[in-house]
């Protein structure tokens, strides 16, 4: 679906910086309690400036399917990222032309709970997500916390997830993304706080450094 996603983009300048640096996906956050929230109107204007080959991902937290479908159509989203505690049945209510990224927070149950969730999505919702995004668990928060994951525990994910791509998130930064990629060997990486000067404010030099480090690490994996 994508290799490198810069999430929590709020401004045209930040979007352009990400695209110029080589990001192939942009995350637009529609969770109103987030410091990275962007309105539907602003997101639509921002999305118009993005090249067709940059994936536009809408990030939602426990939103109704109808609302997500409406925003996806209005903004022109390519994918919906479910970053809350959405039930498996909800996947079947989303527009089938839009890809789904199912975000899950890592805990002591490991990949078993993720594999069970994938089965439930297919059996109950009639639809398997196009990718699973693994983020850190921080009580009361839904991502963008800067907390890292135990990467060594994630490296055997294909045995649990099969051919469902894994997107690695959780505390990634220009300094550690290469190591994370080498250990986990994910299909893609996602960053928000790791390329910011303050919550919701992107640092363009960090974006450039992050993407360069990630691209080099992916290239070395072949």
**Higher model confidence: residue 94 or residue 146?**
94
Answer left, alpha or beta for residue 57, where phi above 0 means left and psi between -120 and 50 means alpha.
beta
**4-221 CATH pick, 3.30.43.10, 3.40.50.970, 3.20.20.70, 3.90.650.10:** 3.20.20.70
Question: What pLDDT, in 10s, does the model give residues 59-118?
Answer: 999 999 999 999 999 999 999 999 999 999 999 999 999 999 999 888 777 788 889 999
User: Measuring CA to CA, which residue among 153, 161, 160 is closest to residue 170?
Assistant: 153
Q: Coil, helix or strand for 181?
A: helix
Angle at 134 between CA 76 and CA 172, to 5 degrees: 90
The mean predicted confidence, pLDDT, of the chain is 93
Q: Please give the DSSP secondary-structure letter assigned to residue 37.
A: B
- Residue appearing with tokens 């919906």: 80
pLDDT confidence bin for 145, thresholds 50/70/90: low
The domain limits of the chain are 4-221
Report CA Rg, the chain.
16
Catalytic residues: 7, 135
């Amino acid at each position: 679906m994508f290799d490198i996603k810069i999430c929590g983009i709020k401004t045209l300048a930040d979007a352009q910086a990400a695209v110029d640096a080589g990001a192939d996906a942009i995350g637009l956050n529609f969770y109103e309690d987030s410091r990275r929230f962007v309105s539907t109107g602003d997101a639509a204007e921002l999305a118009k400036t993005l090249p067709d080959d940059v994936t536009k991902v809408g990030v939602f937290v426990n939103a109704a399917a109808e609302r997500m479908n409406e925003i996806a159509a209005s903004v022109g989203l390519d994918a919906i990222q479910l970053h809350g505690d959405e039930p498996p049945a909800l996947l079947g209510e989303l527009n089938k032309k839009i890809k789904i990224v199912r975000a899950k927070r890592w805990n002591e149950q490991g990949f078993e709970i993720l594999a069970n969730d994938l089965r439930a999505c297919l059996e109950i919702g009639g639809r398997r997500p196009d990718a699973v995004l693994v983020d850190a668990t921080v009580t009361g928060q839904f991502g963008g916390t800067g907390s890292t994951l135990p990467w060594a525990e994630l490296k055997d994910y294909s045995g649990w997830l099969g051919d469902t791509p894994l997107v690695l998130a959780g505390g990634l930064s220009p300094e550690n993304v290469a190591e994370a990629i080498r250990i986990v060997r994910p299909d893609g990486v996602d960053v928000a706080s790791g390329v910011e000067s303050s919550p919701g404010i992107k640092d363009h030099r960090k974006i450039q450094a992050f993407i360069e480090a990630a691209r080099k690490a992916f290239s070395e994996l072949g």
